[in-house]
């Protein structure tokens, strides 16, 4: 492959060498450099790959892509661009022969709801006969393969590699979470989404190495809608106009107020046989009754999003209705059927904002008692422990404080910090450091009509102690408790 093919959509300066040089591979990690590759110098938060140019040339790189001036031996091609992260995205798309052009691409952005909505969309599209891949916080799904995720949105090279593999498997569509960091770091540059979605916006990811302020966070979210053909927006969000600013796409809206393209009316809560959910009627561009076996008003918004996306691709209402009944997302208000007397669920809520949202939602179902089990991670801000403890004590009838990922801290030190927050409110509490024993306590002491939520671990299937990750899946623990182990 010629380098000229990889840079055909870039604005660049040829500083040295020949753009028609033959290239073996595209590389952005100095540890993976091989003979005759082109190396893209990424300017990272911790390391600057420009500092390793001499090393990568010694290893055999034929060409380098830079955004700073560098010194290289004669015979090496040097191409200078304004932003090497953006260049990597466009080059990756070319390297994998523009796979996004052969897929229906759906990008979902927002503070909350991205993960659940991606699984809803995947479920419905597949029910309609469209083979659909997924890229998100928990995992990437390519056919039968499930790949553990490191970032919500992977590096642009990995995104394009996943797209290529989906195309090669004959897949029709891909739905992916698009974080604000991904937009800021050009991880999804180099192609145009068929559909972009805005779920909601709350202050988050603001600080060192993230966004300097809320305005910057919102701006990065808005960039998706300059890179998609159709934008689907939560019209009930107070920030929708800010996110729509500068958009270049066709726009649809969804929400619970009249005048939306997809409006939820006659909303009711479902509570039966230990299961929770919502029911409503959607009107506007589609008109039918909806039931979702995932609790909370946000399930209305997430499912409306999925309905709008599927309408874009011509999916029939009866297919959508059936698929929404069957949707389950690992670790996101995941109901674990153990008893008709009480409801047991697992959720990833691991900060005060998420926990408050979760517990407030569950209180709407008027449980006999709301029981919240959680711990906090070690080697993290103590403020999170105080805040989560206070939120749980304020909203739950019983807080069960246990261990999460203690990392290099002592579990009881973390628990004692949580208790400082717990004691600021007046909820009952118990402390049980061993997580399995804490879960056993909740199950054995559950009363009729209780909702018991195991918070913090969600989809995680390990516990990190002293730098070692030990297998620990709450679903397995529950099963072992039921079997008397």
Q: Is the dihedral of CA 59, 65, 70, 75 positive or negative?
A: positive
| Tens digits of pLDDT across the chain (485 residues) | 999 999 999 999 999 999 999 999 999 999 999 999 999 999 887 889 999 999 999 999 999 999 999 999 999 999 999 999 999 999 999 999 999 999 999 999 998 888 889 998 999 999 999 999 999 988 999 999 999 998 889 999 999 999 999 999 999 999 999 988 899 899 999 999 999 999 988 755 455 556 567 888 888 899 999 999 999 999 999 999 999 999 999 999 999 999 999 999 999 999 887 789 999 999 999 999 999 999 988 899 999 999 999 999 999 999 999 999 888 888 989 999 999 999 999 999 999 989 999 999 999 999 999 999 999 999 999 999 999 999 999 999 999 999 999 999 999 999 999 999 999 999 999 999 999 999 999 999 999 999 999 999 999 999 999 999 999 999 999 999 999 87
Helix (H) or strand (E) holding 325: helix 317-326
Q: Against a cut of 0.85, is the pTM above it?
A: yes
Maximum pairwise Cα distance, the chain: 78
Dist. CA 338–CA 370, nearest whole Å: 17
Nearest to 415 by CA among 443, 441, 386: 386
Residue 379 CB-density burial (10 A; 0-12 exposed, 13-18 middle, 19+ buried) = exposed
Dist. CA 295–CA 403, nearest whole Å: 26
Q: What is the pLDDT of residue 341?
A: 93
Q: How many helices (H) and strands (E) does the chain have?
A: 15, 24
Q: What is the pLDDT of residue 37?
A: 97
Dist. CA 219–CA 246, nearest whole Å: 10
């Amino acid at each position: 492959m010629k380098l000229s093919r990889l840079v055909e959509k870039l604005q660049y300066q040829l500083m040295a060498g020949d753009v028609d040089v033959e290239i073996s591979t595209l590389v952005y990690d100095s540890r993976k450099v091989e003979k005759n590759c082109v190396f893209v110098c990424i300017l990272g938060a911790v390391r600057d790959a420009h500092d390793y140019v001499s090393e990568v040339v010694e290893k055999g790189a034929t060409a380098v892509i830079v955004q700073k001036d560098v010194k290289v031996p004669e015979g090496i091609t040097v191409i200078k661009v304004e932003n090497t992260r953006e260049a990597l995205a466009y080059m990756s798309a070319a390297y994998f022969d523009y796979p996004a052009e052969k897929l229906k691409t759906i990008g979902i952005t927002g503070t909350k709801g991205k993960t659940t909505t991606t699984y809803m969309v995947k479920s419905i599209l597949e029910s309609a006969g469209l083979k659909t891949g997924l890229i998100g916080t928990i995992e990437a799904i390519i056919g039968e393969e499930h790949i553990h995720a490191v970032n919500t949105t992977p590096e642009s090279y990995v995104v394009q590699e996943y797209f290529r593999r989906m195309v090669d498997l004959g897949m029709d569509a891909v739905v992916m979470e698009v974080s604000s960091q991904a937009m800021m770091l050009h991880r999804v540059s180099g192609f145009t989404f068929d559909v972009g979605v805005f779920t909601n916006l709350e202050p988050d990811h603001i600080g060192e190495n993230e966004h300097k302020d809320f305005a910057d966070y919102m701006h990065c979210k808005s960039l998706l809608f300059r890179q998609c053909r159709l934008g689907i927006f939560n019209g009930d969000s107070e920030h929708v106009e800010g996110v729509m600013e500068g958009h270049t796409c066709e726009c649809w809206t969804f929400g619970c107020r009249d005048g939306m393209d997809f409006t939820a009316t006659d909303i009711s809560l479902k509570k039966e046989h230990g299961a929770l959910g919502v029911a409503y009627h959607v009107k506007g561009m589609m008109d039918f009754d909806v039931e979702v076996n995932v609790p909370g008003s946000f399930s209305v918004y997430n499912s409306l999003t999925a309905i709008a996306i599927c309408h874009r691709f011509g999916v029939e209402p009866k297919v959508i209705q059936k698929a929404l009944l069957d949707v389950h997302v690992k670790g996101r208000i995941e109901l674990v059927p153990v008893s008709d007397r009480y409801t047991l669920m697992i959720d990833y809520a691991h900060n005060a904002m998420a926990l408050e949202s979760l517990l407030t939602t569950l209180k709407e179902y008027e449980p006999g008692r709301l029981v919240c089990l959680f711990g906090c991670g070690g080697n993290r801000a103590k403020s999170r422990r105080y805040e989560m403890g206070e939120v749980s004590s304020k909203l739950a009838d019983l807080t069960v404080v246990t261990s999460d990922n203690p990392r290099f801290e002592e579990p009881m030190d973390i628990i004692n910090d949580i208790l400082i927050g717990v004691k600021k409110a007046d909820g009952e509490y118990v402390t049980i450091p061993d997580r399995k024993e804490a879960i056993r306590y909740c199950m054995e002491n559950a009363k009729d009509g209780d909702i018991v939520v195991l918070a913090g671990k969600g989809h995680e299937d390990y516990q990190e102690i002293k730098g070692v990750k030990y297998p620990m899946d709450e679903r397995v623990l529950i099963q072992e408790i039921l079997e008397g182990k």
